[in-house]
Chain A
Amino acid sequence: MELILSTVIGVMYAAGAYLLLRRSIVKLILGIIFLGNATNLLILLAGGLTWGAPAFVEKGAGVVSQGSADPLPQALILTAIVIGFGLTAFALALMYRFYRISGTDDIDQVTE
């Protein structure tokens, strides 16, 4: 499982980096989304893949019960997804505004 996930993450990073290097802004934003999602998967993988119970704290107990999955990477990824969503929304809005003003999607076509 680790091997498959590592390969997927590697491919996603490569695809993201490739898209970032394109001149089109749409592809640039797609590249950023790819990189963001690859990073989220990486956190999950780096936190350790285990078959565990959901991480609930039993009533009265101070810590999570034995045998549950590590809840922290999940919490981190959830936060990162929300932040990534906000940033992507802004990036798309900026791209649209840029397109409206300059009339092109190609970064090289634009000069100050």
Chain B
Amino acid sequence: MIPLILLPVIIPLATFILLLFFRRSLVINQTVTILSAFIQFVVGFMILISVAGDGILVSQPGNWPAPFGITFVADLFSAIMLILAGLISLVISIYSVSAFGKDFQKGIYYPLISILMMGVNGAFVTGDVFNLYVWFEVMIISSFVLLTLGGTKAQMYGGLKYMTMNLISSMVFLTGLGLLYGQTGTLNIADLALKMRTLESSPLITTIAMLFFIAFGIKAALFPFFFWLPASYHTTPVTITALFSGLMTKVGIYAMIRFFTMIFVHDQQFWQPLFLTIGGLTMVVGVLTAASQYDLRRILSFHIISQIGYMVFGLGLFTISGVAGAIYFLAHNIVAKTNTFLMAGIINRIKGTFDLKALGGIYRTYPFISLLMFIPIMSLAGVPPLSGFFGKLLLIIAGFESKQWWITGVAVAVSLFTLFSMIKIWNEGFWKKTPDEDVPAAKKSVPFTMVLPVVILALLTVVMGIAAEPIIRISTAAASQMINPDEYIQAVLGR
């Protein structure tokens, strides 16, 4: 009997191996990938129920006892992320069916999605720092291939920047990891949490923490390190951008939250201002740059950066309510952000362009689709009762509780600018008249498989807003599990 916690890694791996045998059959590729994504989604829920009911799940796949072997651990935060990862892979694989041409899909596209999911899920369930590094590498190498699949010049150019920054981030991660091992003699997250709380603060520990901060900061596209993201995300087909926006940067922020709540607990008077400043700058720079763009994909790419700033702000408060706000916001952002990119894909299918100046009149021709797209746009802007409102509300309340007036004020102001950008998308894309009015607007049909993912994600955004309370309760429990890691340590080390 395979332990439940290993399934998020085994299912994508099995899917990948299976698909390699059926490279020529489009139907098998599509069906198996969708089915596998759905199973991952369900397994995520089963893990969440199990963790919420019976406590943290632990497994030692190599049969070595805890601090020596590789440990797989799922706490509430991991379980939430697993569900979201399964959801994103599900909607993306449904969307891909008609978003790409047949030749593209017959290539290595679906197997790559499976490998990417294996890396992402692995990063969420691992309880070992080096193992996390390995999952990161699994994830980035498949993302390199996905990003450059198709091989246009723009993709090569974007891929090169993306690859270089990710490789540098990996080196920094590995450097920090080596020094961390030299300092503590362990790489097990639970053991590190235990040992770090007994160690005195030292310059070396701060250096190590800074290396991890930079490594995850590059992955999560934080303020001084984000330049690779707008340089590469718009070059690839928008479906792949949607997948990346939902998962890649979020894994970086996941690792950052996990490390800076559980392991690096020293010198908070140094880290807190740093986190809040970086978070604030990320929010402001992202949103202001987005406001000056007219390409739909570029606007949305810059908004990824801006929204990451909110999560860093929540983490930087170092309180349970702050981290809980960051987790809720993370969940909201994965759902809403992916949805806006999928929506951009539909707009491109209808109008053949991403340029807001050339768009217009979508509301008149496609009222249902437009209303559907109104939901994620307004959710990102933070309009009640959608999920974005509660995400921002939680963070702002947490900011006031910690008496961080400045940064909370910045968060509120940035929210206003986000609304500005989103209204710009709505006005330019949907509401204004078509620039070339003479040409009769031929109504193109949008395939059902492209609309269904948008409907699923839009419904979730609404549900997460209306039924916010249970989700807030789970995120608060997840945050307190990490800030007071006694239960985690007890579960992994048995003491």
Contact = CB atoms under 8 A, between A and B. Distances in A.
B168 A47 contact: no
A66 to B, nearest CB: 17
B79 to A, nearest CB: 27
Contacts of A28: 164
Interface in A47-72: 47-48, 72
Nearest to B65: A62
B493 interface: no
B113 to A, nearest CB: 18
A32 B137 CA distance: 15
A90 B144 contact: yes
A79 B174 CA distance: 11
B423 interface: no
Interface in B138-162: 141, 144-145, 148, 151, 153-154, 156-157, 159-160
Given A42-B175, A86-B141, A101-B151, A94 B167 contact: no
B174 A107 contact: no
Interface string B46-75: 000000000000000000000000000000
Contacts of B104: none
Interface string A11-50: 0000000001000010010001001100100110111100
A36 B171 contact: yes
Contact of B182 (A25, A47, A80): A47
B352 to A, nearest CB: 19
A46 B167 contact: no
Given A87-B137, A90-B144, A43 B164 contact: no
B354 interface: no
A97 B414 CA distance: 41
A97 B145 CA distance: 12
B137 A110 contact: no
A42 B178 CA distance: 7
A32 B167 contact: yes
A25 B141 CA distance: 19
Nearest to A41: B178
A98 B141 contact: no
Contacts of B178: 39, 42-43, 45-47, 73, 76
Given A42-B179, A83-B137, A35 B156 contact: no
B175 A107 contact: no
Size bracket, chain B contacts: 20 to 34
Nearest to A43: B178
Interface string B114-143: 000000000000000010011001000100
Contact of B156 (A36, A79, A98): A98
Contact of B157 (A76, A91, A110): A110
Contacts of B181: 43, 46-47, 72-73, 76
B163 interface: yes
B159 A94 contact: yes
A110 B153 CA distance: 9
B231 to A, nearest CB: 9
Given A43-B174, A110-B157, A20 B144 contact: no
B160 A107 contact: yes
B346 interface: no
A94 B137 CA distance: 17
A83 B141 CA distance: 10
Contacts of B134: 79, 83
A57 to B, nearest CB: 11
B25 to A, nearest CB: 27
Interface of A: 20, 25, 28, 32, 35-36, 39, 42-43, 45-48, 72-73, 76, 79-80, 83, 86-87, 90-91, 94-95, 97-98, 101-102, 107, 110, 112
Interface of B: 130, 133-134, 137, 141, 144-145, 148, 151, 153-154, 156-157, 159-160, 163-164, 167-168, 170-171, 174-175, 177-179, 181-183, 187, 235
Question: What 8 pairs between A and B have smallest CB-CB spacing?
Answer: A46-B182, A43-B178, A98-B156, A46-B178, A35-B171, A39-B174, A83-B137, A42-B178
Given A42-B179, A83-B137, A86-B141, 18 more contacts: A46-B182, A47-B182, A72-B181, A76-B130, A76-B177, A79-B134, A83-B134, A87-B137, A90-B145, A90-B163, A91-B163, A91-B167, A94-B156, A94-B160, A97-B156, A98-B156, A102-B157, A110-B153
28 contacts: A20-B168, A28-B164, A36-B171, A39-B171, A39-B174, A39-B175, A39-B178, A42-B179, A43-B174, A46-B182, A47-B178, A47-B182, A48-B182, A76-B177, A79-B130, A79-B134, A86-B137, A87-B141, A87-B170, A90-B141, A90-B163, A91-B167, A94-B163, A97-B148, A97-B151, A101-B153, A112-B153, A112-B154
